[in-house]
């Protein structure tokens, strides 16, 4: 069974590689217009070039570790897509090999992107999602329970 997202507008954070990239591809294949988010313009442009149906992709770059960047990313996605029907919070940072190797700056970066980023991207997306009676999907990983 093929799922039809024709006309739907989707923001996928962390959509330039891995699971996020697969999510972007699936939405584009299902007919959605997608805001492809990555931490920098180079990663977004590189990923966008390889997406079949890339005319349906809006490119949105920015770190999600600050509320200002979260707001800017959401506004760029909504502006580029003309609204928002689905938010997929997929962006994450995990750069610890062990707990013993962690320092405060590394931990703060992980918390800022993984938790604060998802929270504020959701917060800033809510008005558009409510207007469209949209949905939010939060992606986790095994690192969340390790």
Burial of 19 (0-12, 13-18, 19+ CB in 10 A): middle
Write down the pLDDT at residue 94.
80
Write down the pLDDT at residue 92.
87
Q: How far apart, in whole angstroms, are the C-alpha atoms of residue 95 and residue 55?
A: 33
Average model confidence (pLDDT) across the chain = 92
Q: Does the pTM of the predicted model rise above 0.85?
A: yes
CATH code of the domain occupying 9-141: 3.40.50.720
**Residue linked to tokens 């506004």:** 75
Write down the pLDDT at residue 31.
96
146 pLDDT above the threshold of 70: no
Distances (CA, A) of 55 to 77, 80, 106: 15, 12, 37
99 pLDDT above the threshold of 90: no
Write down the pLDDT at residue 67.
96
- Quick: pLDDT tens for 28-57: 999 999 999 999 999 999 999 999 877 889
Two tokens at 65?
């570790």
């Amino acid at each position: 069974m093929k799922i039809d997202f024709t006309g739907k507008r989707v923001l996928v954070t962390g959509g330039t590689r891995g699971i996020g990239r697969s999510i972007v591809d699936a939405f584009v294949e299902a007919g959605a217009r997608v805001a492809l988010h990555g931490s920098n313009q180079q990663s977004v442009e590189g990923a966008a070039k390889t997406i079949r149906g890339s005319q349906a992709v809006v490119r949105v770059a920015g770190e999600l570790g600050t509320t200002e960047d979260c707001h800017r990313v959401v506004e760029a996605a909504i502006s580029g897509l003309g609204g928002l029907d689905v938010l997929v919070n997929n962006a994450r940072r995990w750069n610890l090999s062990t707990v013993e190797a962690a320092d405060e700056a590394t931990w703060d970066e992980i918390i800022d992107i993984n938790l604060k980023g998802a929270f504020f991207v959701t917060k800033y997306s809510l008005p558009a999602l409510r207007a469209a009676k949209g949905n939010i999907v939060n992606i986790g990983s095994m690192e969340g329970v390790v």
